[in-house]
A = this chain, B = another copy of it.
């Protein structure tokens, strides 16, 4: 079941056993969301929403983060006034071993290929 909100500031997240591959793929099937995940993976920790330089409106950006959260790809926590985002690597690696790294490698490979020439 979805983790119940302890306070009104807690954002709902799917439990590990609620994460589905179709949902993870849907969340990552967007170039902007994939880029956010690449940056989170590279950082290895938590990053505030403001860290990401995205060429879209705030509301669109919020939507993208929500899609990632609702599909179990990221964890969002309020720390003070900032909403911190972290990759749910532990859950994803446990459910789908190697998948995250494979997807990130594929995205990096494509970026390199398209950047040439």
Contact = CB atoms under 8 A, between A and B. Distances in A.
Nearest to A25: B29
Interface in A66-98: 95-98
Interface residues of A, number: 24
Contacts of A25: 25-26, 28-29, 103
Interface of A: 20-23, 25-26, 28-31, 34, 95-99, 102-103, 105-107, 109-110, 113
The count of identical subunits is: 2
Contacts of A20: 110
Contacts of A97: 105-106, 109
A109 B29 CA distance: 21
